Amino acid sequence: MKATLDYRNKIILAPMVRVGTLPMRLLALSFGADIVYTEEIIDWKLLKSERRVNDVLNTIDYVDKSDGTIIFRTCDKEKGKVVLQLGTASAERALAVGKKVQGDVAAVDINMGCPKDFSIKGGMGVALLYDLERAKKILTTLVDNLDIPVTCKVRIMPELDDTLRTVKELESTGISAIGVHGRTKVERPRHPVHTDVIREVVQVLKIPVIANGGSQEMHKRSDILKFREACGASSVMVARAAQWNCSIFREEGPLPIEEIILQYLRLAIDYDNSPCNTKYCVQMILRDLQETTMGRKFLDSQTLEQICDVWDLAPYCRQKQLEYHNAGLQGRRQAAPQPDEQDENCPTKRQRLGNGDSEQDVVSHNVSFIRVNYSDDKELPKSKLYIYTVKNGLKLPKYESIHKDKLFRAIVLVGERRYSSSFWEKSKKYAEQSAALTCLLHLGVESREKLIANGAIIG
């Protein structure tokens, strides 16, 4: 039996690249959003990902096996309310993704409105509006074969008649609702939104229409409802206004920016959100405040703990990260380059480090560098190893790195021996720190007990 999702009389968090990840979606729901859309995710990213049940975070993760990146993460708190927006130009790939994720999302939405060159050149986004047969094939294939609702999000076209003809054709595929951004593919947020065109779309369709594009005039929940009324739409989808202040969904009125950031950061910590994505979302909230003293301190931050420290949440961040590490949250430790098919004697690239080095030539330990363990830069493994070599009259450490499939591994030469962690890292800096930590462990400068206790060694 097909699942249903009621798209009428709803206020919705719109799909926004890099913003619509789990912490922001949960924040929007907590403030009163009825439905939340993911950021657009390209079909091939999900197809090559692996679905994993994360018992530590109580989430479902779709993970890029090559580098450990979380492509999509969801949890029970948004079950029945999260819609996956998919970027695709292929009915076959779209269906494969839909089959893969339909147990974890409430619906699938096909992006037919993105005006970016990346999407258009790939035949995705707004390009689908000008390739209507392909667009209809994608939607029909999904509607006929998935157990969850299917929708699409479009932009209006320069001519009203073309817009109306296109949306009626899309409706004929059996989709459950349609999102309409009231600007053409060449118009940008500085251009006025065409509420009159959205109203015309509503008149010719029987399915719910979700109006989008009114963020410039939205400052509180009542403004969202005014926009819906102006468009005559069933529901409203809010993008940039929610990105700037997610509490716009609150019936009681919006909260101060400071409170928004604190609540967002707690969710980012609780769900182990990547520092890069967390920083981007906070930047979108701060906007002009990035030029303040606090803002500049924030911009200088790199790790999640450093970001949180700006808002006095560093102790909580450190506590949770160590708790997760000790509970066995492995994340990037599960990542390894893909097998080297050209070397039959090398089942995985872990076994050959580069320059002809094999594991037998290098002292290796299962040690991972965890940035949260080092509040003082002087205590970083590379700093400690530098001091060790100076005190013992040795040549300074010499590092070389190997870069494969978006991952890094480093080897450090100290004395006559070479050292490397067995784990692959997502950055050259972290790989070098891991190599230094391996060396310090082997030399007895760091104890195995301490590294087990702080999560650097698991198992």
141 CB-side CA count, 13 A = 19
Q: State the sign of the Cα–Cα–Cα–Cα dihedral 266, 272, 274, 275.
A: positive
pLDDT above 90 for 83? yes
What Cα–Cα distance (Å) separates residue 173 from each residue in 112, 151, 391? 14, 10, 74
Higher-confidence position of 146 and 341: 146
Say if residues 218 and 250 touch (Cβ distance below 8 Å): no
pLDDT tens-digit series, residues 39-73: 999 999 999 999 999 999 999 999 988 777 899 99
Give the range among 153-167, 213-227, 262-276, 347-361 with minimum mean pLDDT: 347-361
pTM for the model: 0.81
Q: Looking at residues 248-277, what average pLDDT do you find?
A: 96
pLDDT above 80 for 223? yes
What gap in Å lies between CA 180 and CA 154, rounded to an integer? 5
Q: What is the pLDDT of residue 118?
A: 84
What gap in Å lies between CA 172 and CA 193, rounded to an integer? 26
Kind of pairing, strands 70-75 and 59-64?
A: antiparallel
pLDDT above 70 for 350? no
Give the list of residues 6+ apart from residue 63 with CB closer than 8 angstroms, or none. Answer: 49, 50, 51, 52, 69, 70, 71, 334
Q: What is the pLDDT of residue 25?
A: 98
Burial of 390 (0-12, 13-18, 19+ CB in 10 A): exposed
What gap in Å lies between CA 23 and CA 265, rounded to an integer? 8
Q: What is the pLDDT of residue 303?
A: 78
pLDDT tens-digit series, residues 400-443: 999 887 788 999 999 999 999 988 887 899 999 999 999 999 99
What gap in Å lies between CA 422 and CA 353, rounded to an integer? 10
Burial of 121 (0-12, 13-18, 19+ CB in 10 A): exposed
Angle at 51 between CA 12 and CA 136, to 5 degrees: 55
Angle at 43 between CA 40 and CA 49, to 5 degrees: 105
Query: Looking at 75, 114, 281, 439, which residue is catalytic?
Result: 114
Q: What is the pLDDT of residue 90?
A: 97
Say if residues 353 and 360 touch (Cβ distance below 8 Å): no
Report the candidate in 168, 93, 160, 107 with the shortest Cα–Cα distance to residue 132: 168
Kind of pairing, strands 70-75 and 82-87?
A: unpaired
How is residue 156 written in tokens?
Answer: 């209006």
Q: Looking at residues 176-184, what average pLDDT do you find?
A: 98
- Under the banding of pLDDT at 50, 70 and 90, the label for residue 340 is very low
How is residue 203 written in tokens?
Answer: 């008149």
Q: What is the pLDDT of residue 373?
A: 79
Q: Does the annotation count 346 as an active-site position?
A: no
3-state helix, strand, coil in the chain (%, to 5): 45, 20, 35
What gap in Å lies between CA 414 and CA 397, rounded to an integer? 5
- Under the banding of pLDDT at 50, 70 and 90, the label for residue 170 is very high
Q: Phi and psi of 363, rounded to 5°? A: -75, 120
5 CB-side CA count, 13 A = 26
pLDDT above 80 for 208? yes
Neighbouring C-beta atoms of residue 302, cutoff 10 Å: 12
Kind of pairing, strands 363-365 and 357-358?
A: unpaired
Round the average pLDDT of the chain to a whole number and report it: 90
Q: Looking at residues 111-122, what average pLDDT do you find?
A: 90
Strand pairing partners for 244? none
64 CB-side CA count, 13 A = 17
pLDDT above 70 for 336? no
